[in-house]
Every structure is written in C-alpha cells, then in structure tokens.
Amino acid sequence: MDNVALLKTLYDAFGRGDMPAVLGAMSPGIRWHEAESNPYMPSGEPWVGPDAVLHNLFMKLGGEWDGFTVHPKTFYGAGDSVIVEGRYTGTYKATAKTMDAQFCHIWDVKGGKVTRFQQYVDTAKFCDVVGAK
C-alpha cells in the first residue's frame, strides 16, 4: 500500500471510531506534534508513542466533543511524507460552541508505519471554541 492510500485508510478508520486500526498504524516511537498554541499541547512539544496520543488526545476528543469529525479533502504524496488538507467540525460540550476550522496535517511514513505527525490549524479559533486563553 502506498503512503497516500495508507493515510486515506487511517482517516476512514478514525471516522469509524476504529482506534485499534489507527493506533496500530503508528510506529512505537511516533512523534505527534499538535500545532503550537493548540490547547491540548500549547508548547507544540510532541507526544511520543501511540499510548500518549490515545490518552492525551483521542480520549479527550471523544469525551469533550459532540460530533468531533475530521474531514480530509486533499492528499498530497511527497515521498515518505503525506500532506493532508481538510477541516475539523464539532461542538465542544463545555462551551456549546461549534467549530469549523481548516487544518493541514503532515505525516511521515517509514516501513508502512506512521513515524511523525504535525498539525497546523487556526489555533485562535480552536481556543475560542474550547474557552482557552
């Protein structure tokens, strides 16, 4: 499977809530970077390993949002990297505010496993929705 096909499969699995498939595609040492100023990891420092991504991000998204959805639109293959443009939508439960924000994701893949993720998103919009300063 080529890298673009792999990432399309992962977004589909995430959309279905198939976290074992998503986590299973990550290398044990994946470095997951949220955008700087993202309220889930404002420093932009990476989480390392699938368990860190699960507990620090995926479980929070599932518990804190109604209908949080990732809508990938365009995939660009770039050798060992895949760039994905799309949108996030959902309603943050604590504020009842809805989000519709553009994102760009950069994924690095080696040996059929995701080794690195970098998110870019409108963090001002994201922070407003979740009530973060």
| Helical ranges in the chain per DSSP H | 3-16, 19-24, 50-53, 59-64, 123-130
Domains of the chain, start order = 3-130 (3.10.450.50)
Note the pTM of the prediction, 2 decimals: 0.94
- CA 80 from centre of chain: 18
Strand ranges (DSSP E) for the chain? 26-33, 47-48, 65-78, 81-92, 97-110, 113-121
Q: What is the pLDDT of residues 77-119, one digit of tens each?
A: 999 999 999 999 999 999 999 999 999 999 999 999 999 999 9
Paired residues of 101 in beta bridges: 88
Neighbours of 94 (CB within 10 A): 10
Q: What is the pLDDT of residues 40-87, one digit of tens each?
A: 998 889 999 999 999 999 999 999 999 999 999 999 999 999 999 999
